[in-house]
Structure 1
Amino acid sequence: MKKINLFFLFAFLLVLNSVAQPETSISNEKEQEGWSFTATPYVWLSGFRAETSFRQISPEPVNADFSDIRDSVELTGSLHLEAKKGRFYIIGDVSYFNSDKDGFLDTEPTPTRLFVDQWVTELGGGFNLFNTEDSFLVDALAGWRNTRSDNRLTIAGIEEFNRSINTNDLFLGARLQILSDLWGFLLRGDLGGFGWGSELSWRINAIGTYNFCDWFALNFGIQALGIDYQEDNYRHEMMTVGFTAGGSFKF
């Protein structure tokens, strides 16, 4: 009986130690870490490629292809916001794109032009899954993405089609960061839509960072956005990709 009592006493002390230790570390972490905020205005030198298909009077769809991304490059402004506390963070992003480009019909070599005015707004949150002393981090993220795109198509100089998209998607993704005192690298990817808003939407960011001081860093990299949208007799597939550069203000 004495051996059994000693065994339970020893087991109780082990459990007490294992419970008390995380509470101490968690309380210390809460004392050391509060909310931190980052605001990153950036410019986006981007172009797009698209395929548009629609039906008017005839049962056969009109298919237009705009695949040469080089003749649609435009410089636009965007904004990224982030709030972080401990292992949790909240993100917001607004990206704007406006351009037009020449294309062709699938059936005949008729001059075709597509005009695009697009806003992409995101709000989401994430949780840090893996962290090696703030030098290598892996995060999971999820959120909501609104894509608003005004698309106007002209064929032989005559406006044939004018359609607006306003779709809301849920997205799931991941984020990887490699950090040092001066340099940093971020890779983010996500997928959304899945037939709920759009058929599919996605985003990829590859960003390098140089820290000038505790409150300011320079960012540069690549951003790509894509959407596949279908409704009634209309389908619009579009990818927007280009270089980004901006500054992060931390407070």
Structure 2
Amino acid sequence: MRTTTAILIVSMLGSAGAANAGELPADHGGQGWAFQVTPYLWAAGLEGDISPFRRAPTLAVDKSFSDVLDHLNFGGFVDIWGRYDRYVFSGDLMYVNTTDSHAVGSLPMVGATPGLSADVDTAQFTATLKAGYRVYDDSDFTVDLLGGIRIWHVSNDLTVRYGGFSRSYGEDFGWVDPVVGFRTFYRVTPNLSFQAQADLGGFGAGSKHTWQALATANYVFNDNLSVSAGYKILDVDYDSGGHIFDTTLKGPVIGLTYRF
């Protein structure tokens, strides 16, 4: 199932065209409306501290992308970018579902009991919605200032098995962070360009803080298709109601964008 899921993600990239990979590709200049859609792959590792259940111990997590892929059930990433004259809009959606199996004594919240096994199924949904204004615009260089929100929802389901006995328990939590940021685009040649973006948020309204940064190199095939590759980091520090989600996701991104 995990291998099949990985193949499906890569196939999606090849057929439609990398995680907040919105703004990855080269941008259209000119006036009027412009849109682009980017399904993408983010080969991210995960590190940090997580307390998925109230009254449960905080767990230290340090997983490479291959570790994450081993536990992956499904991953989907898509970004939508729009512009009208100097007004810009973006929406980046990320959903990841994993199942982590634990043997005897490896699950601190349950403890070491002979014959005990447990599965933790985790689903994370993140949506970053932003709007802004292009403060500088010429044929080869643009600067956008952006503001908006980042929505988080994390769901955890624990299934414990002992002999023929099985019991399940689930919790979910979520929050909304305000964010502010920028996006820059620089065209080197008609086909090659570079792009960078970053945002900062939280400010105690949802999480203590959250920030992300993304830099890519982009190559344009024609008026509608471009490919991008780069690196992205997404960080958040949330601690509320007995839940802790203090994590950093980072790794290379790659995507194929369709513009219209």
TM-score (norm: length of structure 2):
0.69
Cα distance change of structure 1 residues 39 and 64 upon mapping to structure 2, 3 Å threshold: same
Deviations along 1:180-209, one digit per CA (max 9) or x if unpaired, are 310121111111111112222222222221
Alignment of 1:84-163 (within 5 A): 84-100=83-99, 115-131=121-137, 133-152=138-157, 162-163=170-171
Correspondence 1:78 to 2:77: yes
Alignment correspondent of 2:233:
224
Deviations along 1:65-112, one digit per CA (max 9) or x if unpaired, are 112435224573311111112222111111122335689789xx9799
TM-score (norm: length of structure 1):
0.72
Offset, 1:177: 1.4
3-state SS of paired residue (1:67) = strand
Alignment of 1:1-251 (within 5 A): 33-53=31-51, 56=55, 62-70=57-65, 71-73=67-69, 76-100=75-99, 115-131=121-137, 133-152=138-157, 162-179=170-187, 180-251=189-260
The letter of the residue matching 2:87 is F
Greater RCO (Cα-Cα under 8 Å, separation 6 or more): 2
The letter of the residue matching 1:139 is D
3-state SS of paired residue (2:95) = strand
Unaligned 5+ segments in structure 2 are: 1-29
Deviations along 1:119-140, one digit per CA (max 9) or x if unpaired, are 1112211212233x33222221
CA RMSD of aligned residues (A): 3.1
3-state SS of paired residue (1:228) = strand
Offset, 1:212: 0.2
Offset, 1:155: 9.7
**Matched residues, percent identical?**
26
3-state SS of paired residue (2:43) = strand
Q: What is the distance in 1 between the residues matched to 2:140 and 2:169?
A: 51
Deviations along 1:154-178, one digit per CA (max 9) or x if unpaired, are 8999999743222111100111211
Cα distance change of structure 1 residues 84 and 65 upon mapping to structure 2, 3 Å threshold: same
Aligned residues: 214
